[in-house]
Amino acid sequence: MLTIDQLAERTGISIRTIRFYAGRGLLPPPQLRGRTGLYGPDHVARLELVTELSALGFTLAAIEGRLEKLPATAGAEELALQRALLTPWVPEQIEDVDTMELDRRAGRPLGPDDLRALEGLGVITRLDGDRMRLNGAATLGEGLAVLDSGLPTETWKRAHQIIERHTTALAEELMTMFQAEVLQPYRDRGRPADERSRLAEAFTQLKPITVRGVVTAFGRAVNRTIRERVG
């Protein structure tokens, strides 16, 4: 069992924030030993889940709504399963920068046309003033390569839109299948404790395998299309 100081050290969350979360009902009350509140693995797991949801961009109200859907008796293993389900399938490094910082990272000044092209490619998202959201350092490198390719940026933008449309549909269909064939049966069985760790591990392994499978399948489909058109 942990005191609130130890809990803060264990999770990297300040005591003030822990108390704020507890006041919002995101964290169940501690066990009392005399006048000292003690926290266990379930508290650690719940704080880790809240941190994960915050990192994914969930608002506090959305986090509250998500946690309200969990059983009141949800323990560390159930919360670990939730984290496995919500962890991004590919690493994302989304951050807000200004035009000066973007120029520095690009290694050159970017004009209005460059910024419009990068936005059309999904590399940046315009915010207020000269602020913008950079959707990953690797994405910036790819966007700059597009600008330097010599091909019309409108062609690249349309290609990006096609990919975005089809991958969004693929993600929706896969999530619907996982929900119907894996998660809902688990809930219907009463969320058996002996399945939680196995499910969490399975989803952790599933994500990179699925991403690699999509890339491989797309490459094969392009090769097949080329052969058919040449033939």
Summarised one tens digit per residue, pLDDT across range 111-160 is 999 999 999 888 999 888 889 988 876 788 889 999 999 888 889 889 88
**Three-state SS annotation for 47-92:** HHHHHHHHHCCCCHHHHHHHHHCCCCCCCHHHHHHHHHHHCCCCCC
Residue 161 CA to residue 157 CA, distance in Å, equals 6
So what's the pLDDT on residue 226? 92
Residue 171 CA to residue 158 CA, distance in Å, equals 20
168 phi and psi, to 5 degrees?
-65, -45
Question: Poorest-confidence range of 53-62, 163-172, 181-190?
Answer: 53-62
Answer whether 115's CB lies under 8 Å from 124's CB: yes
Read off the pLDDT band of 192 (50, 70, 90).
confident
So what's the pLDDT on residue 84? 77
Name the residue among 74, 66, 64, 82 with its Cα closest to residue 26.
Answer: 64
So what's the pLDDT on residue 118? 92
pLDDT above 70 for 25: yes
User: Taking the mean position of all CA atoms in its chain, how far away is CA 128?
Assistant: 24
Provide, rounded to the nearest whole percent, the portion of the chain with pLDDT above 70: 96
Amino acid at site 227:
R
So what's the pLDDT on residue 89? 76
Residue 40 CA to residue 46 CA, distance in Å, equals 10
State the chain's mean pLDDT as an integer: 86
Provide, rounded to the nearest whole percent, the portion of the chain with pLDDT above 90: 31
Number of Cβ atoms within 10 Å of the Cβ of 229? 7
So what's the pLDDT on residue 111? 92
So what's the pLDDT on residue 71? 67
Amino acid at site 66:
R
Amino acid at site 14:
S
The residue written with tokens 């499910």 in the block is 199
Q: Please, which residues have CB within 8 angstroms of residue 182's CB and are 6 or more apart in sequence?
A: 199
Mean pLDDT of 6-10: 91
pLDDT above 70 for 185: yes
Number of Cβ atoms within 10 Å of the Cβ of 200? 19
Domain limits, the chain:
4-86, 94-151, 156-230
So what's the pLDDT on residue 223? 94
The residue written with tokens 């489909």 in the block is 221
**CATH 1.10.1660.10 given to domain 4-86:** yes
Residue 152 CA to residue 157 CA, distance in Å, equals 9
Answer whether 94's CB lies under 8 Å from 133's CB: yes
So what's the pLDDT on residue 95? 83
Name the residue among 92, 89, 75 with its Cα closest to residue 204.
Answer: 89
So what's the pLDDT on residue 213? 92
Residue 21 CA to residue 32 CA, distance in Å, equals 18
pLDDT digits (tens, 9 = 90+) for 53-95: 887 777 888 888 877 777 666 777 777 777 777 777 766 677 8
225 phi and psi, to 5 degrees?
-65, -40
How much is the pTM?
0.62
